[in-house]
Structure 1
Amino acid sequence: MPQWLDAVRKTTSQPAHPPAGIDRDRDAVIAGLTLPWNSGVVEGHVNRIKMLKRQMFGRAGFDLLRKRVLLYS
């Protein structure tokens, strides 16, 4: 167990949401905090596609959404 995680458990202040998931996903949390790679570029593309989808809500079908996504890539 990393020392910083032990220190978090011993702190007297209570977080807004208990960190119960940290124990379950400990390897993923440690990797996310220590490795130099991230998914920022992918998240940016997902955010852009969601924005296009919101702009077109109720206006057209999947074919137009596909054209806009490919056009603005």
Structure 2
Amino acid sequence: MARTTTYKELDEVRAPWPLPEVGVGAGDRGVVVMEYENPEPAIEVEYADKEGVPKAFVVYSPDLTEIYVVHPEAP
């Protein structure tokens, strides 16, 4: 199967824009935790605070230009 995502699991990415509702700022570091191929290619990124506690999981298009889903992580 051909790879359709730019990123792979455990790659570091930067938030392309702020998501204040979940405490993620533009440029915040996140880690790809899942790649999806179906129903369309996507990546899921985990953002955590300085202590490593998850703040949010965000599902993006493979090029980070669209947000498909935002899951806030309860403290």
TM above 0.5, yes or no, is no
> Which structure carries more helix by proportion?
1
User: TM-score, normalized by length of structure 2?
Assistant: 0.19
> Which structure carries more strand by proportion?
2
